A and B are shown apart, each in its own frame.
Chain A
Amino acid sequence: MTALMIINMRNILSVIMLGGIYSLISAILFVVLDAVDVAFTEAAVGAGISTVLFLSAFAITGKHHDLKRRNHFPALLAVLVMGAGLMYSTLDMPAWGDAEAPVHQHVAPRYLEDSYAEVGVPNIVTSVLASYRGFDTLGEVTVVFTALIAVLLLLGAIREDEDQS
């Protein structure tokens, strides 16, 4: 629903605020789907930080309007074709919430059964994140660090510091 409203909004400020609300709603959805860690992160990151960053970038540019469009048809066609294809492919997917689905057969049972004895941490998400998949998390922290370097280079904050010293 919020996503549909975002499509129609032309004022960029309200688009940004609706983006924040949309994140909060999806966080609630994650709680319903039992992913408490993910919901926590989405609420803090999506609804909090990313809205603040959007607003601060918006304050720099200060452009308030989205222009009127020429022709909606090609975009609409592309989106509908993609949507139809994806819908068709979901027909092959296992039923939602099915405990016998292939997703739950591979490594997940091992994490659920053995992780407490092996790692001794009740929160399985934490133990998988930091222990079994430590390399993933290392790569991910590196991505965040690289993003910082990219932002600082683009905005020229590195040069500015050198000028001061």
Chain B
Amino acid sequence: MKKNPILRETSHVLIPVILLFALYVQFHGDYGPGGGFQAGVIFASGIILYVLLHGIKKTEKIISLQTTKLLAALGLLIYCAVGVAGMLLGGLFLEYNVLAADPVAGQHWGILFIELGVGITVASVILAVFYAFAKFEK
């Protein structure tokens, strides 16, 4: 696949757009269809496209299996941290109303961070699973 110039050049154009679209879906999830799950999947598929065209070795220099494992744990930790932050500020676990002075603003912050955690976890889990399959030797 490395020798096919059309695919390679198209991917150069497409991959940044896919990653940017993933971020749009991530942060526009409050207003339109979208959110952490979809954004994570789209982000991972952008990177998987890079792997398919440039090979796994080149991609691992940018983002390695170890990094994806750490990021997967980090996303889950962000989610839990939001819950615990609500507890520390005097609310219940995962109660966002106390995160800011105004309850609605607090809800906004809570949802933003939780979606961020979900997005990071989903993207890195899918990428790590793909790496695991791609690196497996018979």
A-B interaction: yes
Given A44-B45, A49-B45, A148-B72, are A131 and B110 neighbors across the interface (CB < 8 Å)? Answer: yes
Partner of B94, one of A41, A138, A161: A138
- Asked whether B130 lies within 8 Å of A56 as measured between CB atoms, the reply is yes
Q: A96 near B: Cβ within 8 Å?
A: no
Partner of A60, one of B31, B111, B133: B133
**Band of interface residues on A:** 35 or more
Q: B85 near A: Cβ within 8 Å?
A: no
Q: B7 near A: Cβ within 8 Å?
A: no
Q: B100-111 interface mask toward A, CB cutoff 8 Å, 1 = contact, 0 = none?
A: 000111011011
Q: B79-103 interface mask toward A, CB cutoff 8 Å, 1 = contact, 0 = none?
A: 1100100000000001010000001
Q: A134-159 interface mask toward B, CB cutoff 8 Å, 1 = contact, 0 = none?
A: 11011001101101100110011100
Q: A82 near B: Cβ within 8 Å?
A: no
- Asked whether B34 lies within 8 Å of A40 as measured between CB atoms, the reply is yes
**Chain B residue contacts of A52, Cβ below 8 A:** 45, 48, 130
- Asked whether B121 lies within 8 Å of A36 as measured between CB atoms, the reply is no
B105 → A minimal CB distance (Å): 8
Which A-chain residue is minimally distant from B32 (CB atoms)? Answer: A123
Total contacts A-B at CB 8 Å = 135
Given A44-B41, A122-B31, are A137 and B118 neighbors across the interface (CB < 8 Å)? Answer: yes
Q: B17 near A: Cβ within 8 Å?
A: no
Given A53-B129, A126-B29, A152-B132, are A120 and B121 neighbors across the interface (CB < 8 Å)? Answer: no
Q: Which of B3-57 contact A (CB under 8 A)?
A: 25, 29-35, 37-38, 41-42, 44-45, 48
**Chain A residue contacts of B136, Cβ below 8 A:** 60, 155-157
Q: A79 near B: Cβ within 8 Å?
A: no
Interface of B is mostly: helix
Interface of A is mostly: helix
**Chain B residue contacts of A41, Cβ below 8 A:** 37-38, 41
**Chain A residue contacts of B41, Cβ below 8 A:** 41, 44-45, 48-49
Q: Which of B102-138 contact A (CB under 8 A)?
A: 103-105, 107-108, 110-111, 114-115, 117-118, 121-122, 125-126, 128-136, 138
Tell me the bound Cα distance from A126 to B104 in angstroms.
Answer: 14
A140 → B minimal CB distance (Å): 8
Q: A81 near B: Cβ within 8 Å?
A: no
- Asked whether A120 lies within 8 Å of B107 as measured between CB atoms, the reply is yes
**Chain A residue contacts of B38, Cβ below 8 A:** 37, 40-41, 44
- Asked whether B138 lies within 8 Å of A60 as measured between CB atoms, the reply is yes
Q: A99-143 interface mask toward B, CB cutoff 8 Å, 1 = contact, 0 = none?
A: 000000000000000000111111101110111001101100110
Which B-chain residue is minimally distant from A148 (CB atoms)? Answer: B125
10 pairs of A and B residues whose beta carbons are closest in the complex: A120-B104, A134-B94, A36-B33, A56-B133, A130-B111, A44-B41, A148-B125, A157-B132, A155-B132, A121-B30
